[in-house]
């Protein structure tokens, strides 16, 4: 069925002022101002009440953390004490059931904000949660959202000089065996894929160098991406210098991770030489503005990274360090903190949109999503400007960001509607809110 999405208020695409034509889940034509589609269409959708952007792409998250938003033990702390407060709570309470609900809620929240592709970095594996990746694939498929399932890992616990407790780490052989199992079962490198797999050792203070190197070997064997936290805090710099006698980027290089398969979470505390090195090797960086502000971690040098050659994407980060899973809100926060870092004239709403779409797609190694162009997947988010907050907005695309859009009226993935009238088409939001809220109460019982 050939569908013409016609006459939008505005659209984030050149030469598509009168909309786009979609067929078989792919954009086949951009319709310029005053023009009609070149080919006959069987259906039309009147988008005259909508501003359309490419589906947002979230490149860093921790879905299970939706269970500990604004947790009394963790608020008003920076990263290391925040983690030390939450690790024991997660170790005791993250079960397959709570993990499933946390994943379901995070994906639903992302989708409702206009996100069409999400990468989750799951690194916590207490006993009983060995099937975590299978649960995430099932939940993504249920909702119809694209996902990069990032098989995270930790094998360096407190007894080894790491940060996490013994109960949430796994040994190296167990980790590598499950990484290979998940890759064989789920990784689809083809265009239009709904499920892809990345290998994601957690951070320098939670994994060994050998696990980092073995992850590279597997990534090359299965042609997948690599992901880890790096350069998030000064505490991490100190940890690397104390334990490895080098800075985090040097550590990355020693592990064989300076290559275009890699994208990093946060990337805040890099010096000029490190930025040049990362850019030279096309290492991507996921900017997490909201989390970085909540934990007072610092400000990512997005402009220098892009100028050096690094793709820059956008992520919400964990829902206990951001306290929600709204990527459209993250677009606004990215604009604001980067204007504070640089200036008002050189950081625009187009930069923030680029990070959340094309930049994020590049971080995930995808060339089929992240833009509204002929041949790309028909992944789009549609926003209305009816709320009071938008009244008086002159430039529709800038209005979405500056006036604080946070809810998509419609979301399309591969040509299918996944959100209509602000609600997901395959999820009972009221039931999800109740079930998730009940499960989250267990994470407070120890107080």
Q: What is the pLDDT of residues 234-244, one digit of tens each?
A: 988 999 999 89
Q: How far apart are CA 429 and CA 200, in angstroms?
A: 30
Confidence of residue 308 (pLDDT cuts 50, 70, 90): very high
Residue linked to tokens 């004490």: 81
Instruction: Work out the pLDDT band at 162, boundaries 50, 70, 90.
Output: confident
Residue 265 token pair: 């979470």
Give the list of residues 6+ apart from residue 402 with CB closer than 8 angstroms, or none: 332, 335, 349, 393
Share of the chain above pLDDT 70, in %: 100
**Tokens read off for 343:** 């200036």
- The secondary element (H helix, E strand) that includes residue 29 is strand 26-30
- Between the CA of residue 262 and those of 301, 377, 379, 389, what are the distances in Å? 18, 23, 24, 39
Q: Are 22 and 378 in contact (CB under 8 A)?
A: yes
User: What pairs with residue 424 in β-bridges?
Assistant: 419
Residues 6+ apart with CB under 8 A from 303: 338, 342, 346, 347
Evaluate whether 219 touches 164 at the Cβ level (below 8 Å): no
Evaluate if pTM is beyond 0.85.
Answer: yes
Mean pLDDT of 189-197: 98
CA-nearest of 63, 151, 68 to 111 is: 63
Dihedrals φ, ψ of 330, to 5°?
Answer: -60, -30
CB-based contact 297:78 (threshold 8 Å): yes
430, with CB counted inside 10 A (0-12, 13-18, 19+), is exposed
Q: What is the DSSP letter of 377?
A: B
Per-residue pLDDT at 161:
82
List the one residue out of 47, 16, 65, 127 whose CA is nearest residue 317.
65
Distance CA 420, CA 136 (A): 23
Q: What is the pLDDT of residues 217-235, one digit of tens each?
A: 999 999 999 999 999 999 8
The H or E element spanning position 292 is helix 289-294
pLDDT at 445 over 90: no
Q: How confident is the model at residue 446 (pLDDT cuts 50, 70, 90)?
A: low
Mean pLDDT of 412-433: 98
d(CA 316, CA 291): 7
Mapped onto helix, strand or coil, the DSSP state of residue 412 is strand
Q: Which domains does the chain have, with CATH numbers?
A: 3-54+370-429 (2.30.40.10), 56-363 (3.20.20.140)
CA distances from 320 to 64, 69, 291 (A): 9, 4, 9
* Six token digits for residue 178: 């499950």
Residues 136 and 120 sit within 8 Å (Cβ to Cβ): yes
pLDDT per position as a tens digit, 367-380: 999 999 999 999 99
Per-residue pLDDT at 383 exceeds 90: yes
Distance CA 151, CA 247 (A): 25
Name the average pLDDT for the chain: 96
Q: Report the residue count for the chain.
A: 447
- The two tokens of residue 104 are 């379901």
CA 248 to CA 20: how far, in whole Å?
45
For 195, phi then psi, to 5°, come to -125, 125
The DSSP line for 232-246 is --HHHHHHHHHHTSS
- When pLDDT is averaged across residues 138-144 and rounded to a whole number, the result is 98
For residues 205 and 249, is the Cβ–Cβ distance under 8 A?
Answer: no
**pLDDT band at residue 346 under the 50/70/90 scheme:** very high
Q: What is the pLDDT of residue 66?
A: 97
Helices (H), 94-233: 96-113, 132-143, 172-186, 209-222
- Given a cut of 90, whether residue 56 has pLDDT beyond it is yes
pLDDT of residue 447: 59
Give yes or no for a contact between 59 and 413, defined as CB atoms under 8 angstroms apart: no
> Quick one: pLDDT at residue 23?
98
DSSP string, 210-271: HHHHHHHHHHHHHT-EEEEEES--HHHHHHHHHHTSS-HHHHHHHTT--STTEEEEE--S--
For the chain, counts of helices (H) and of strands (E): 15, 18
Distances 360 to 27, 34, 309, 370 between C-alpha atoms, Å: 19, 32, 14, 7
Q: How far is CA 283 from CA 196, 351, 352, 363, 414, in A?
A: 19, 19, 19, 8, 28
pLDDT of residue 253: 96
């Amino acid at each position: 069925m050939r569908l013409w999405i016609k006459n939008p208020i505005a659209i984030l695409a050149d030469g598509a002022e009168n909309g786009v034509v979609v067929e078989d889940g792919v954009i086949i034509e951009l319709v310029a101002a005053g023009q009609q589609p070149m080919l006959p269409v069987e259906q039309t959708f009147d988008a005259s009440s909508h501003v359309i952007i490419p589906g947002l792409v979230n490149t860093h998250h921790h879905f299970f953390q939706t269970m500990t938003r604004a947790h009394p033990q963790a608020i008003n702390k920076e990263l290391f004490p925040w983690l030390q407060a939450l690790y024991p709570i997660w170790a005791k309470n993250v079960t397959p059931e709570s993990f499933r609900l946390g994943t379901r809620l995070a994906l639903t929240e992302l989708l409702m904000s206009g996100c069409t592709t999400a990468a989750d970095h799951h690194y916590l594996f207490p006993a009983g949660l060995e099937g975590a990746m299978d649960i995430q694939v099932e939940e993504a498929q249920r909702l119809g959202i694209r996902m990069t399932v990032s098989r995270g890992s930790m094998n360096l616990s407190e007894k080894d000089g790491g940060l996490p407790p013994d109960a949430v780490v796994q040994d190296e052989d167990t980790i590598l065996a499950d990484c290979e199992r998940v890759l064989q079962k789920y990784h689809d490198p083809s265009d239009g894929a709904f499920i892809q797999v990345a290998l994601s050792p957690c951070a320098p203070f939670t994994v060994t160098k050998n696990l980092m190197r073995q992850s590279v070997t597997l990534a090359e064997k299965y042609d997948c991406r690599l992901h880890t936290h790096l350069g998030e805090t000064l505490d991490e710099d100190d940890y690397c210098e104390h334990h490895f006698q080098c800075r985090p980027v040097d550590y990355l290089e020693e592990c064989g991770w300076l290559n275009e398969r890699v994208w990093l979470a946060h990337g805040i505390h890099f010096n000029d030489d490190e930025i040049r090195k990362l850019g030279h090797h096309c290492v991507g960086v996921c900017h997490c503005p909201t989390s970085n502000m909540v934990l007072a971690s610092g400000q990512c040098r997005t402009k220098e990274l892009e100028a050096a050659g690094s793709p820059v994407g956008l992520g919400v980060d964990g829902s206990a360090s951001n306290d929600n899973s709204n990527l459209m809100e993250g677009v606004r926060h990215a604009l604001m903190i980067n204007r504070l870092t640089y200036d008002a004239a050189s950081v625009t709403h187009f930069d923030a949109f680029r990070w959340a779409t094309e930049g994020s797609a590049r971080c995930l190694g995808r060339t089929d999503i992240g833009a509204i162009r002929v041949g790309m997947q028909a992944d789009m988010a549609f926003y209305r400007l009816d709320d009071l907050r938008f009244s008086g907005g002159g430039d529709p695309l800038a209005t979405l960001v500056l006036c604080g859009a946070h809810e998509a009226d419609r979301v399309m993935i591969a040509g299918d509607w996944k959100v209509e009238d602000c609600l997901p088409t395959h999820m009972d939001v009221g039931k999800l809110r109740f079930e998730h809220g009940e499960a989250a109460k267990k994470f407070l019982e120890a107080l």
